[in-house]
Amino acid sequence: MADIFDVVADPTRRDLLHLLLEVYVSPQSGSGELSVGEIVERLSLTQPTVSKHLKVLRDHGLVNVREEGQHRYYSLDASPLEDLEDWVVPFLSADFDPSPADAERSGVSAAFAAWSGTEVGQKVGRAVADRSHRARSAIEDARDQLNRGIHRITGR
């Protein structure tokens, strides 16, 4: 069975996860769910392709599915990504071990350290992740629009 790294290595599955993340963090989405048809429409993929990749994500616990008649509604469950986080964080923080003086200069306080693992810290972390995701998405959308505009102008 593939591990979480193999699952997220596929670009189509990453696109599915990004879409479900957008819905999950969107204040307009009450349920955080999308139907297979909505996913097909938003990603411009075929229904069999979407269903195949959703099955892999479901088998690895990255999405939840709710059945309503013949319809399936999918939502994100990011908890299996903790394995990825546990693996990546040491690489990202290898050079980050601030001394108390460095922490004070950089604005990192003992108070922040004290509550960073609490519910407040989790809420702040989620808000930061949401804003970061929105910013990345906006940049990616702008880049895509620019590339389409260049393509239309140049024909390449």
For domain 4-76, say whether CATH 1.10.10.10 is its number: yes
Task: State pLDDT tens for residues 25-52.
Answer: 887 777 889 999 999 999 999 999 999 9
Instruction: Give just the sign of the alpha carbon dihedral 8, 13, 14, 18.
Output: negative
pLDDT > 90? residue 86:
no
Q: Looking at the chain, which residues constitute the CATH 1.10.10.10 domain(s)? A: 4-76
By the 8 A CB rule, do 20 and 42 touch?
Answer: no
* pLDDT interval class at 111 (50, 70, 90): very low
